[in-house]
Amino acid sequence: MRIFSASSSSSITRRWFAGVVLSALSTVALAQAAKPHVVVLATGGTIAGAGASAANSATYAAAKVPVDKLLAGLPELANVAKVSGEQVFQIASESFTNEHLLRLGQRVSALSKQADVDGIVITHGTDTLEETAYFLNLTVRTTKPIVVVGSMRPGTALSADGALNLYDAVTVAASKDAAGKGVLVTMNDEIQSGRDVHKHINIKTEAFKSQWGPLGMVVEGKNYWFRAPVKRHTTNSEFNIDDIKALPAVDIVYGYGNMNTTGIEAYGKAGVKALIHAGTGNGSVAAQAVESLKALRASGVQIIRSARVPDGFVLRNAEQPDDKYDWVVAHDLRPQKARILAMVALTKTQDSKELQRIFWEY
C-alpha cells in the first residue's frame, strides 16, 4: 500500500493546477492562431482625423491619428481576427497621386501573396476612396478580400462613424464569404462594390452609394449578401499591378452651359494621352467643343465621353457619332472612374476599339 504525505499531495495538486493553466493557455493560443490574419494598411483621411471639439464633425484636420492608435481604440477587433497595422501614407485623399496609387497597389499585391495573410483593409480618405478602390479592383490579382474603408466624421466627433466602419471592414476582410467578390467598400453598414460605389454627399454618414445597390450589409459582425459583381475584376482582370510601372496622363474636362474650349486645348498642349469629357445628360458635347475634341483625337489623344450626372450611363452613338469620330464612351462610369480605367487600359493598348471593349467589360 502507497502512503501519500501532505507534501506529496500538495505537489500533485500544484502539478495538476499547472497542467490546467497550461492547457487553458494552449487553448487560447490555438484559438488566436486559428483566427484569420487581417492587415490594415493606413493611408490617412478623415478616419484618422481629429477636430478641436466633439461638436466638430465637418471642421477638422485629416490624417492625424496613426494606425496603431486606430487599432488600439478598437479592442473588439481581437474577437474577429488577428489584426496588424502598417502606415503606408498619412495624407488627405484629395492629395492622392498616381504614384500613391501605384505604391499602394504594389503593397496590397505583395501582401495578398503571403500565405499568412487572409484579408487586407485599407483605411482611406473619402474624397478619392472610390478611385483607389476601383484601381485596386482592376489591378490586384487575388481572391482574398480587399476592403477599403473611411469615415465621414473624425473619431473625435459626436456620433463618429469610423470605429464601426473599420470594425465592419475587418469583419468582411476576415470572412471567407467575401472572397472572390472584387475590392469592396464598407461604409454605413453596407458592403459596396469598389467599381460601382460613389461618394454622393459630403455631410452625411450615408455618403457612399451605388446606383445598382449594395452587394450586401454587415449587421453585428455578420455579412448578408444580396448580389455579386458581374464586371471583370481582380483575378479575372487582364491588368496586373506587378507589371505597371507608370500611369499615362489622363485628365477630365467638364461640360457646362456656355462651355469654351480653353481646357480642351490646354490639356492637348500638356500632352495628355486621353481626355475624359464629363458631359451633360447622356454625355452630351456642346457644339462649340466638338471640333476641338475631333482635332485632339486626330492628334492621337483618346476622347472618352462620360457624364457629369450621378446615375445612368452613356449610350454609344447617341448625342454624338462616336463611330465616325473614333471616340469611346465610358458606359456607366463617372468621369473620375473613367479616368482610372483609361489610365490602366492605356498601359496595354492605344487602340480605340480595344479601349471601348475594356469600358464595356470592366
Q: Annotated active-site positions, please?
A: 46
Please give the full DSSP string across 165-227, using - where no structure is assigned: HHHHHHHHHT-GGGTTS-SEEEETTEEEETTT-EE--SSSS--EE-TT--SEEEETTEEEE--
Query: In sequence order, what are the beta bridge partners of 252?
Result: 276
| Sign of CA pseudo-dihedral 123, 128, 132, 133 | positive
Please give the full DSSP string across 123-163, using - where no structure is assigned: E--SSSHHHHHHHHHHH---SS-EEEE--SS-TTSTT--HH
* Range list of H helices, the chain: 6-34, 67-72, 98-112, 129-139, 162-173, 262-270, 287-298, 322-325, 335-345, 352-361
Q: Which long-range contacts (CB under 8 A, 24 or more apart) does 7-16 make?
A: none
Please report, to the nearest 10 degrees, the dihedral formed by the alpha carbons of residues 176, 181, 183, 187 taken in order: -80
Q: How far is it, in rounded angstroms, from Cα 305 to Cα 359?
A: 11
The answer to whether 121 touches 38, Cβ cutoff 8 Å, is: yes
Spatial neighbors of 111 by CB under 8 A, at least 6 apart, are: 39, 41, 117, 120
The answer to whether 287 touches 261, Cβ cutoff 8 Å, is: no
Q: Does residue 336 sit in helix, strand or coil? A: helix
The answer to whether 60 touches 49, Cβ cutoff 8 Å, is: yes
The answer to whether 304 touches 59, Cβ cutoff 8 Å, is: no
